[in-house]
Amino acid sequence: MKHLFSRLSPAQKIILSFLLVIFCGSLLLSLPWVQTASSQAGYLDHLFTAVSMVCVTGLFTRSVVDTYNVWGQLLCMLLIQIGGLGILTFIGFFTMESRKKLSLKDRRILRDSFSYGHNRTLGQFVRSIFITTFTIEGLGALLLMIRFIPKFGLGRGIFNSIFLAVSAFCNAGFDNFGNDSLLGLQTDVLVNITLALLIITGGLGFMVWFDLATQLDKKKKRRLRFHTKLVLFLTAGILLFGTISTLFTEWHNPGTIGNLSVPEKVLV
């Protein structure tokens, strides 16, 4: 089995690692002790959820809050985080932190997993990904706690804030609020702006972050890469187009934003 795995190409190993995480995640989500007493989910529901979380699609057949207890939701957060960062990023990080050396083949797989092509030290790059990710998610969670701790209480407020921050930054589209999702918070400026910034920041990708960071370092300052310029241009264009087209089509719709004030319509 080990010999067979070693013969796979980097792309095949990346695909296989995701399939393995999905399968293990679906089995863990199927355990009775991570589900609520009223859960009606079967194995196919758990499998669908695991696929959706690792591939960060936001689709589900059973809502998170109706299906999983706190332990199950912690597992959901882990699957979302793995999907957002990539399982090979985790493997590479823990391997390097344990002071083990990665082979050239393993380093190539890691580079391919997030299209890393610099001469920059791979270890520094992977560590930077984790530090930046957890810093941004932590700041987002702290901002959400301002609203959620008074609303849900200390423990649940902190937990919901972390869950939502991780999900938003990884562009996963999941929440643990139930079938109404964030509908009750549609005009809350703090929650909406925080989540929007987390989604946009996470969607830009690692390479864009670090390329932009060089603009703040006078010693390393250089022109932005074409990839970064393209991502920023398309992101701004899609956001602008999406906002304007949604305002145009939903402006008078009482089922969405028709009954809101003008500032609230723009926010939503």
The answer, yes or no, to whether residue 48 has pLDDT greater than 90, is yes
Q: How far apart are CA 33 and CA 22, in angstroms?
A: 19
pLDDT digits (tens, 9 = 90+) for 237-264: 999 999 999 999 999 999 999 999 999 9
Instruction: Report the chain's C-alpha Rg in angstroms.
Output: 20
The answer, yes or no, to whether residue 225 has pLDDT greater than 90, is no
Region of poorest pLDDT, from 64-78, 83-97, 103-117, 202-216:
103-117
Query: Which residue would you say has higher pLDDT here, 69 or 87?
Result: 69
- 15: nearest Cα among 57, 48, 23, 204: 23
The answer, yes or no, to whether residue 84 has pLDDT greater than 50, is yes
pLDDT digits (tens, 9 = 90+) for 162-214: 999 999 999 998 999 877 888 889 999 999 999 999 999 998 888 888 888 87
Contact 248, 242 (CB under 8 A): no
Q: Which amino acid is at 84?
A: G
Q: 10 Å Cβ neighbour count for 192?
A: 16
Q: Is the pTM of this model over 0.85?
A: no
Q: What average pLDDT does the structure give for the chain? A: 84
Please, which contacts does 89-94 make with residues 24 or more away whose CB atoms are closer than 8 Å?
89/113, 89/114, 89/126, 89/129, 89/130, 91/17, 92/122, 92/126, 93/126, 93/127, 93/129, 93/130
